[in-house]
Structure formats: structure tokens, C-alpha cells
Amino acid sequence: ELVIGDHRVNLNDRVAELEDHQLVQLLADQRLELDGAQRRIARHRGREPGVLDRLLDDQTTLFHMAGHTSVAGSVKDPLTDFEANVSATLNVLESVRKTGARLIFPSSAAVFAPDQSLPLAETSLKRPSSPYGAAKAACEGYVQAYFA
């Protein structure tokens, strides 16, 4: 359970169809406690360079979970998947670099070879089998390069 006390929380959500109160409820349903925290909800697709610069500073920790998550959608339209995942992540990384914010980047099991037994480890063989998995693997590479 993640409890956020008196910290400022910026929620960066690309799910434009959710109202603010629905997003807060979604986070609460996932056991994320935001009561008592300052929070701002920013909506964008992450594809616009610099859009996060005004929301981040060196006291911010950004959980970057935006992007397309559909394997089938990535097969149907790999360019849109690339833009939504890799290009958006590169824009996030540039904003984090410029502002001094901290980044938490959860990836996906789609980066791993599909025929491996569970549980997977960070050291398990990475061999994406979809454009989505390849995009997430590319994002991991960019994150590692920025923080090397």
C-alpha cells in the first residue's frame, strides 16, 4: 500500500475520458491513498516535448505509466504504439533531466521471451514478440541510458 502524506502529487493521466473524481477513485481502488495530499491532475498524451516541465521540479517523483498497453493494437498500428510509448517516454526523460525530478518507470512482462517459465526476474531473457514489447524494451534502454 502506498500512502502519500503531505506531499504534492501530480497525476499525469492520458485517459482523457475519466473525470478527475473518477481518476482519484481509481487510484483509491488500487490502494493509493491521496487524502491530505496536494494533487494536480494534468492531461496530455506525452507526445508534446516540454509539456511536463511546468509540473516537475527537483522535489517531484514521477511515476511514468502512460502509454498504449494493447499488444493487439501495437500489431495493428505499430507507429502509433511507438509514438505513444517510445516518443512519449523520451519526452518524459527530457523533462525529468531538465527539472531534476526523479522517475519511476514500470515496464512490462511483454519485454521478455514468451516461452520462459515464471516467475521472471530482471535478468530473464528479453525477447519481445510484439511491437508493444519492443517499444517497452526500447523505453527501458532509454531510461538506462539517461540514468547511467
CA–CA separation, 71 and 10 (whole Å): 28
Residues labelled catalytic = 132
Q: Which residue has the cell 510484439?
A: 130
CA–CA separation, 91 and 46 (whole Å): 7
Question: How distant, in Å, are the alpha carbons of 1, 7, 25, 108, 119 from that of 105?
Answer: 18, 20, 22, 10, 20
Q: DSSP secondary structure string, 2-63?
A: EE--S-EEEEEE--TTS-HHHHHHHHHHTTEE-TTSEEEEEE--S-STTTTTTT--TT-EEE
With H, G, I as helix, E, B as strand and everything else as coil, classify residue 82.
Answer: helix
Strands 61-63 and 32-33: unpaired
